[in-house]
């Protein structure tokens, strides 16, 4: 095989892999959004249960006799409530575990993109390929886009893990609202992160120009 044919084969291989990566990014982000919605519902259930438990606690100045008369049923209610709360916590844990898997797959996509970049630099020198691979981006721009996406989701995963750890153990209602808001609105995945994905899909032909 001639040198020109080898380079042409490398070009088509790189383009195909980059397009596959872009499609994988899109699919992983769709799965993440589904998990985020599911997790928000479970987190809301946890907060509602914690609030209900707090409301059911007898006031400090309640008569001792009254407390004794209701003690057996109160214990049963607390046990049932604790079991339900644990179930919701387990469901939220399962959501976060699946998010961990998604970020691991994103790390693999980043590794593949970095490998393409390294190959380009080996073939064409430190500056890489001078001509665009798809529409207008050079190989390095695909790598930079993947890095932005991975950084955003990695940080958001850390936040989700904190919320999972703290939500059921927090008794302060205002803090509950902060946790729920953070889970829903995902501060580490701002609009520009989603725009980065759209740009990647446009560049690779998955979105029409």
pLDDT digits (tens, 9 = 90+) for 31-51: 999 999 999 999 999 999 988
Specify if 118 maps to a domain. Answer: yes
pLDDT per position as a tens digit, 123-156:
777 776 666 667 778 888 899 999 999 999 999 9
Model confidence at 68: pLDDT above 50? no
Query: Considering its fold, how many domains does the chain have in total?
Result: 1
Distance between CA atoms of residues 188 and 75, nearest Å: 42
Specify if 19 maps to a domain. Answer: yes
Specify if 33 maps to a domain. Answer: yes
Specify if 194 maps to a domain. Answer: yes
Distance between CA atoms of residues 110 and 200, nearest Å: 14
Distance between CA atoms of residues 82 and 49, nearest Å: 9
Residues 41-66: b if buried by 16+ CB within 10 A, e if exposed: ebbebbbebbeeeeeeeeeeeeeeee
Task: Give the closest residue to 11 by CA, choosing from 97, 114, 129.
Answer: 129
Average pLDDT over the chain, rounded to an integer: 84
Distance between CA atoms of residues 47 and 65, nearest Å: 31
Specify if 102 maps to a domain. Answer: yes
Specify if 3 maps to a domain. Answer: no
Specify if 1 maps to a domain. Answer: no
Model confidence at 110: pLDDT above 70? yes
47: Cα separation from own chain's centroid:
21
Specify if 82 maps to a domain. Answer: yes
pLDDT band at residue 77 under the 50/70/90 scheme: low
Model confidence at 9: pLDDT above 50? no
Model confidence at 87: pLDDT above 60? yes
Q: Which domain holds residue 24?
A: 8-56+65-203
33: Cα separation from own chain's centroid:
8
């Amino acid at each position: 095989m001639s040198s020109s044919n080898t380079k042409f084969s490398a070009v088509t291989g790189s383009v195909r892999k980059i397009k596959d990566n872009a499609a994988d990014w899109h699919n992983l982000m769709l799965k993440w959004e589904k998990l985020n919605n599911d997790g928000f519902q479970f987190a809301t259930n946890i907060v509602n249960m914690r609030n209900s438990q707090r409301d059911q606690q007898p006031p400090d100045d309640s008569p001792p006799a009254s407390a004794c008369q209701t003690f057996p049923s109160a214990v049963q209610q607390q046990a049932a409530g604790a079991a339900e709360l644990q179930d919701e916590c387990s469901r939220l844990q399962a959501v976060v575990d699946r998010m961990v898997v998604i970020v691991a797959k994103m790390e693999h996509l980043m590794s593949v993109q970095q490998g393409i970049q390294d190959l380009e630099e080996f073939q064409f020198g430190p500056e890489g390929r001078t001509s665009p691979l798809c529409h207008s981006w050079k190989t390095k721009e695909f790598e930079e886009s993947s890095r932005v996406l991975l950084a955003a989701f990695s940080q958001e995963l850390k936040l989700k893990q904190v919320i999972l750890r703290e939500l059921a153990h927090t008794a302060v209602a205002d803090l509950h609202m902060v946790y729920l808001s953070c889970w829903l609105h995902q501060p580490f995945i701002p609009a520009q992160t989603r725009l980065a994905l759209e740009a990647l899909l446009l560049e690779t032909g998955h979105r029409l120009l």
